[in-house]
Chains A and B, each alone.
Chain A
Amino acid sequence: DTAVSQTPKYLVTQMGNDKSIKCEQNLGHDTMYWYKQDSKKFLKIMFSYNNKELIINETVPNRFSPKSPDKAHLNLHINSLELGDSAVYFCASSQEGPRGRTDTQYFGPGTRLTVL
């Protein structure tokens, strides 16, 4: 069974559209993340949720809005898509350990977003 899954795997859309990417983990982890990987393979954290609560919100445009309906899901909604949003988006999850320290991260397969 896949531990961290994302849908869709590929997303091609026009500028100005609104789109969502879904992420689900069945590992029982309580922390989930969204990362953006650009064309140079640089990986940057966007958001982190712990038990449905936002704990990390890096400097990303307001057009990006994460939503966590429960601790097994973290979806990413993007409004008014721009060319620069083209990238691979990875979801990940980890388990919170003692004193809030998070553990190894488990990544989804990625969603390749292409904005035309």
Chain B
Amino acid sequence: AQRVTQPEKLLSVFKGAPVELKCNYSYSGSPELFWYVQYSRQRLQLLLRHISRESIKGFTADLNKGETSFHLKKPFAQEEDSAMYYCAPLGRNTGGFKTIFGAGTRLFVKA
């Protein structure tokens, strides 16, 4: 079965500390991987996708096909990074292509 796992429901770090939000997936074929973010009282929006290989707001994510992981990292967390983060693989499923969202990790960056 296609599945995405974000093992941490809540991650609390101090400002300036490194942060890593874990994501593991189980998917047949070669899914495309996304991270979406939801800031307080705002809509979900794309943070980054693996094919872009870009850094957004200091965040990067490397696709590790061997470990089937797509962890999100930032070397120095900022208070404004506090939000809900969703890992979301997009791949072929019955009925066409489908994005499955992980359960989400709430990141809380303390001053």
Contact = CB atoms under 8 A, between A and B. Distances in A.
A110 B32 CA distance: 25
Interface of B is mostly: strand
A66 to B, nearest CB: 14
Contacts of A92: 44
Given A90-B44, A107-B44, A108-B43, A41 B104 contact: yes
B95 interface: yes
B104 A56 contact: no
B43 A109 contact: yes
Nearest to B99: A105
Contacts, number: 57
A56 B43 contact: no
A57 B86 CA distance: 22
Q: Give the interface size bracket for A toward B.
A: 20 to 34
Interface of B: 32, 34, 36, 38, 42-46, 49, 84, 86, 90, 95-101, 103-104, 106
Interface of A: 4, 35, 40-45, 48, 50, 55-57, 90, 92, 100-102, 104-110
